[in-house]
Amino acid sequence: MAARKATREREREGDDLSPAHPLERLIFFSDAVFAIAITLLVIEVRPPHLPFHTSDRDQLVSLINLTPSFTAFFISFFVVGAFWAGHHRAFSLSKHWSPKLLFPNILMLCAIAFMPFATAYMGLNMGQRVPSMLYDAVLMITAILNIRLVKLATSPPVVDERADPLAIARTRARGWGVALGAAIAFALTFVFPPISQFGLMTIPIWLRLSIARAERRANATVRPS
């Protein structure tokens, strides 16, 4: 009995060490910034305020006029959601804390925190060149900062030694999907701005190609015969 209690004591002591586990806190803080940025997106869509006897038709028109802002909201919601999922995927392969994570992580979060501005600016001026370029540029920068952070989180000394090399290769490859899609959208703004955001629809293609390439490479490394 006494031994058992002592064991539990020791276990709790070990537990006590973790309240401020540095890696957990970094992940937690990042989750909170992602969650706030994603939820603030809607704040920038201003609800119309019409007099009481407005006809249904006029109400509908005022709502339809917000389509660009809604579109920008939905695009950004899934873009930020995808970056969160990528962060989630990368850090599920990590295990050790390193102070080297701090700056690249805050830099990436800064780009994410800037998204509500870029989204609102694009939503208010949909189809124009400069707002679309700014939006796509922010996306590209975020994607590049993300690629760098994912690499750090899945490399020594941060990575979990028991993590599957194929999972690491796939997770790193995913980072390129958004970067390439944003680059295409950015290029399209020079041609015809109103359709440029369709460039982001190529992201799934780049994802698939990039992951397939990573898998081929990883297999080649693991089984070099």
* Phi-psi label, residue 136: left if phi above 0, alpha if psi -120 to 50, beta otherwise: alpha
Interface with its own copies (CB under 8 A), residue total 80
CB contact at 8 A, 122 and 134? yes
Window contacting its own copies (CB under 8 A); options: 116-124, 138-146, 166-174, 201-209? 116-124
17 contacts its own copies (rule: CB under 8 A): yes
Bond into 157 cis (ω within 30): yes
Q: Does residue 94 sit in helix, strand or coil?
A: strand
Of positions 75, 79, 91, 145, contacts its own copies by CB under 8 A: 91
Q: Using CB under 8 A, which of the segments 107-115, 138-146, 175-183, 213-221 binds its own copies? A: 107-115
Write the secondary structure of 117-172 as one string of H (helix), E (strand) and C (coil).
HHHHHHHHCCCCHHHHHHHHHHHHHHHHHHHHHHHHHCCCCCECCCCCHHHHHHHH
User: Which range, of 103-111, 140-148, 202-210, 217-225, touches its own copies by CB under 8 A?
Assistant: 103-111
One of 114, 155, 166, 215 touching its own copies (CB under 8 A)? 114
Contact string (CB under 8 A) for its own copies, positions 136-175, x = contact? ------------------------x---------------
State which residue, 10 or 216, has the beta carbon closest to its own copies. Answer: 10
Task: Work out whether 1 is an interface residue with its own copies (CB under 8 A).
Answer: no
Please state, in angstroms and rounded to a whole number, the distance separating the CA atoms of residues 168 and 206: 18
Backbone phi, then psi, for 94, in 5-degree steps? -100, 160
DSSP structure class, residue 45: S
Smallest distance, its own copies to C-beta of residue 224, A: 27
Which range binds its own copies by CB under 8 A, 46-54, 141-149, 177-185, 197-205? 46-54
